[in-house]
Structure 1
């Protein structure tokens, strides 16, 4: 793991997310695999050992005896948060409600709170368990609207601003007092930036630290995935058709991606991981989270990501300790996007994880957890003064 405190400025190709896994192509074609909902029932005990159907389980329900280590600490509490438009958000918490610090984890596009499984397990043991002293932190995880176990909203509410309002509601209801650290991956990092634009007064008063993992503040629609120019042009022509198909013909889109399940897995591996020896079970794990996100939800959020511009929202984060972390081989949101964030946050800690892709939190969990632990120590968790 390489630590830097200032970016090495690069003028490499501008890249983005193209709807994260949406970018490969159309839901109405055989190559529309990256946006398709793999049949969750493919991910069963035969593939993931004791996990019967990971696509239908929350992180807290994963079996503790899973030999592949994709388990999470069972939640101490579950809750439902009502968003300002009535959408129900599923929340899970670990650690006492009177812990001196609350850490809120915000997951990425097409994923769920289960994406934090390794960090949840380790940080729960290190910070949210009474190991002879008062726990240092409470961990709060939730599913973003339309993802995981949370409800869906109106299509016009599929925006970063609405996700920011959802995060504000989670803070108001589940962490109404005391210091908070926000941790966001991909679209989750964009949600944190959206909150900074919506409620800048929270940063420095309630929000005392932030981590922006594998994320971007804008210019996302230019992603080329390293494709040749011809394929990039084809992709640009196909994506509008794909988005229309997913919104207007979701049944057709669902059927198509089930038929293309094997190609979906290959695309997931290519776009999410960089390691040559990545465990196939982790690929299936990501597949299963994507499977929990309806294709029309994927399509509804795509315009918000493609048109994202949160560069001006970074100013409130200058007053708090901030971690910017990326995998050095992330093709979904390449490192240049983290470097652009560092231009606005020159005092942030910059961590580049070698040989890691977009799902760095699953691919290199120890390095990510180490960086998060260092951030939490900077804001007081785990220090003698904080106990």
Structure 2
């Protein structure tokens, strides 16, 4: 009995080590898709009807700066090919001639697009005496936001790409589609190109890849000195094991180290010095709300990513590649490599911006997306107003 009790005891030193590992992996999570999610508690999903179109849902309280949140015109549950329920919200009429699907990042949710949802919803998806140009489709990736979790072995980019294909098939079965992906969402778009290249140039008529990478993520140093990078490489496996096998301990440790997580998250998310503190709390709420075992399950898929061979189908369509100039998570060199391989892509580097450029410099991001959508609409023969 005494031996068993001693075996399971966690000393202060061990707790500190676990804390460092958990914080480190949480920081790595921000590095490949950091995290802005809803502030409100998650909704519990009901039975799995494949489509639920009739209800008009409130946009959750995800409004970081007190703006008027854009409500969904429809909500739906889409059933993935392995039975996982994916939560979908739409803005704009079902008969709009263009559909735009937004794909969020690692430890994120559809709420990360709050500024773009508001601005583009008003610009392109609202009837102001003329027919709206676009319908905006937002969904939570599996294990994130309101979507259900799948088995750990399905925490892969390939499965996320199949989920995206399913969302397109159910929510945009006809007409031209534009895909917008941030961080892991951009990797999901590239994964879709690898699995279903036939969609690109036919159904998918344009794409935006924001703050993302086609591979070599395991080599990122997150702006840390070389010594700390080596330490990170040693502690991350410990963190991953702890988060998957002892999630309750990892969650408690993360709460215990909340101030440190907040400091690291801020540094890895933003670059400018005048970021509203509410955005920092917004990011913190995401970190606190994402189950540690979900973080651990997806991390290996991102660290081992290689989508360099998936870019060829994207050469057939207009592509926007956008990054923050001072992104410490996925440095702009990763975007430069994508642009080099795509040749004709529009490349936008936003000054004084970090990985969460879609929040930090949302006006610049929205303007670039608006240009892409209008170009895609014009090339697809969709009336633009």
TM-score (norm 2): 0.86
Q: Does residue 191 of structure 2 align to residue 206 of structure 1?
A: no
Q: Hey, what does 1:150 align to over in structure 2?
A: 147
Structure showing greater radius of gyration is 2
Residue ranges of structure 2 left out of the alignment (5+ in a row): 1-15, 28-37, 44-56
Q: Does residue 313 of structure 2 align to residue 328 of structure 1?
A: no
Q: How big is the alpha-carbon RMSD for the aligned residues of Structure 1 and Structure 2?
A: 2.1
Name the SS for the 1:209 alignment partner: strand
Contact in 2 for aligned 1:189/1:215 (Cα 8 Å):
yes
CA distance in 2, matches of 1:366, 1:281: 17
Distance change >3 Å, CA 31–CA 263, structure 1 → 2? farther
- Equivalences, count: 346
CA distance in 2, matches of 1:31, 1:240: 8
Q: Hey, what does 1:32 align to over in structure 2?
A: 22
Q: Does residue 230 of structure 2 align to residue 233 of structure 1?
A: yes
Contact in 1 for aligned 2:98/2:382 (Cα 8 Å):
no
Distance change >3 Å, CA 274–CA 369, structure 1 → 2? same
| Greater RCO (Cα-Cα under 8 Å, separation 6 or more) | 1
* 1:131-280 equivalent positions in 2, closer than 5 A: 131-280=128-277
1:234-293, Cα deviation, whole Å (9 max, x unpaired): 111111111111111111100000111111111111000001111111011122223332
Residue ranges of structure 1 left out of the alignment (5+ in a row): 1-25, 38-52
Distance change >3 Å, CA 27–CA 97, structure 1 → 2? farther
Q: Hey, what does 2:49 align to over in structure 1?
A: none
Q: CA deviation at 1:225?
A: 1.6
Name the SS for the 1:115 alignment partner: helix
1:144-185, Cα deviation, whole Å (9 max, x unpaired): 000000000000000000000000000000000000000000
Q: Hey, what does 1:61 align to over in structure 2?
A: 59
CA distance in 2, matches of 1:232, 1:318: 35
The match for 2:366 among 352, 364, 369 is 369
Distance change >3 Å, CA 102–CA 354, structure 1 → 2? same
Name the SS for the 1:56 alignment partner: coil
TM-score (norm 1): 0.85
Distance change >3 Å, CA 85–CA 71, structure 1 → 2? farther
